């Protein structure tokens, strides 16, 4: 395992240990949450826990099935605790998410949870958000006009392309992603709201003021910030 994977493994396990019998759990998306999902599945099996997961993407649905976690939907249950990764975390626990193009459902699930726990390795911790471009999920018809609006707001939007570079990434909801670089994000709360009122934008990847706890995997130790 390379070093970052060890850190992700450590925080995934730490978060899985927080889950209590009988809870409804939001299952985040991404490589760090895969460790969480795997450890949670192990606990459910070994301790015979009665837990249901609510996935934030098709990816986490598949991971949950592989781990033996039964799933349900937000339509049927309230969420006790959600555990998710992040692409950037600042000192006031504001986040940029959406590196896996799943931030729309992630924001719905994470914001609906009574407690939202973020798990990251130390490379995600920043003083100020904005090195990682802000992902915006947009409906395909809005591509040109939303790009123009984002440039007017000082952003540098780029359509996210698939690995083969021969077509755009399509989200679980059938939409495009515009990764938008802003020089500095001084006020994440304000920018999050400004981006979401642009017609054609479904959701953006700034999660300001949502996280209740961040667990950071460091080479030296695990740090928890509430």
Can residue 85 be called a binding residue for ligand 5RP (CB under 6 A)? Answer: yes
Give min distance, CB of 40 to ligand 5RP, in A: 15
CA distances from 204 to 50, 87, 101, 125, 148 (A): 34, 13, 10, 20, 16
CB of 50 to ligand 5RP, least distance (A): 26
Contact between 206 and 192 under an 8 Å Cβ cutoff? The reply is yes
Of 147 and 203, CB closest to ligand 5RP: 203
From the CB of residue 17, how many other CB atoms can be counted at a distance below 10 Å? 10
Total residues contacting ligand 5RP by CB under 6 A comes to 17
Taking Cα atoms as reference points, which of 195, 103, 196 lies closest to residue 155? 195
Catalytic positions: 106
Which is nearer to ligand 5RP, 49 or 90 (by Cβ)? 90
100 binds ligand 5RP (CB under 6 A): yes
CA 127 from chain center: how many Å?
19
Candidate segments 95-103, 109-117, 161-169, 211-219, binder of ligand 5RP by CB under 6 A:
95-103
Is residue 5 annotated as involved in ligand binding? Answer: no
Is residue 146 helix, strand or coil?
Answer: helix
| Shortest spacing between CB 153 and ligand 5RP, in angstroms | 22
Question: What sign has the CA pseudo-torsion 62, 14, 28, 100?
Answer: negative
Binding track over 120-139 against ligand 5RP, x by CB under 6 A: --------------------
Stretch that binds ligand 5RP, among 47-55, 80-88, 107-115, 161-169 (CB under 6 A): 80-88
User: Roughly what angle, to the nearest 10 degrees, separates helices 31-47 and 58-67?
Assistant: 30
Please list, in sequence order, all residues whose beta carbon lies within 8 angstroms of the beta carbon of residue 66, skipping any fewer than 6 positions away.
41
| Ligand-binding site membership of 41 (annotated) | no
Contacts (CB under 6 A) with ligand 5RP, residues 9-48: 28-32
Q: What φ, ψ does residue 94 adopt, rounded to 5°?
A: -80, 150
Q: Which of 98, 133, 157, 217 binds ligand 5RP (CB under 6 A)?
A: 98
Is 130 within any annotated ligand binding site? no
Q: Is 217 in the site for ligand 5RP (CB under 6 A)?
A: no
Query: Binding residue per annotation — 13?
Result: no
Lookup result for tokens 């642009």: 198
Strand order in the sheet with 95-96: 88-89, 95-96, 206-207
Residues near ligand 5RP (CB under 6 A) are: 28-32, 84-87, 97-103, 106
């Amino acid at each position: 395992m390379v070093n970052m994977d060890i850190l992700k493994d450590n925080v995934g396990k730490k978060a899985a240990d927080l889950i209590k019998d009988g809870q409804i759990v939001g299952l985040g998306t991404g490589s760090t949450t895969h460790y969480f999902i795997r450890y949670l599945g192990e606990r459910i099996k070994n301790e015979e826990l009665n837990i249901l997961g609510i996935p934030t993407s098709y990816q986490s649905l598949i991971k949950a099935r592989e781990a033996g976690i039964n799933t349900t939907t937000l339509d049927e249950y309230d969420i006790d605790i959600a555990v998710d990764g992040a692409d950037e975390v600042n000192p006031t626990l504001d986040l940029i998410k959406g590196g896996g193009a799943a931030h729309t459902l992630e924001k719905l699930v994470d914001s609906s949870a009574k407690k939202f726990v973020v798990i990251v390795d130390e490379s995600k911790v920043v003083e100020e958000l904005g090195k990682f471009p802000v992902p915006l999920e947009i409906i395909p018809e809005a591509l040109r006009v939303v790009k123009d609006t984002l440039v007017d707001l000082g952003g540098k939007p780029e359509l996210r392309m698939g690995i083969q570079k021969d077509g755009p990434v399509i989200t679980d909801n059938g939409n495009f992603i515009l990764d938008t670089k802003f020089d500095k994000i001084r006020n994440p709360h304000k920018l999050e709201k400004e981006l979401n009122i642009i017609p054609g934008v479904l959701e953006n990847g700034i999660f300001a003021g949502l996280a209740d706890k961040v667990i950071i995997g460091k080479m030296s130790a695990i740090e928890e910030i509430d």
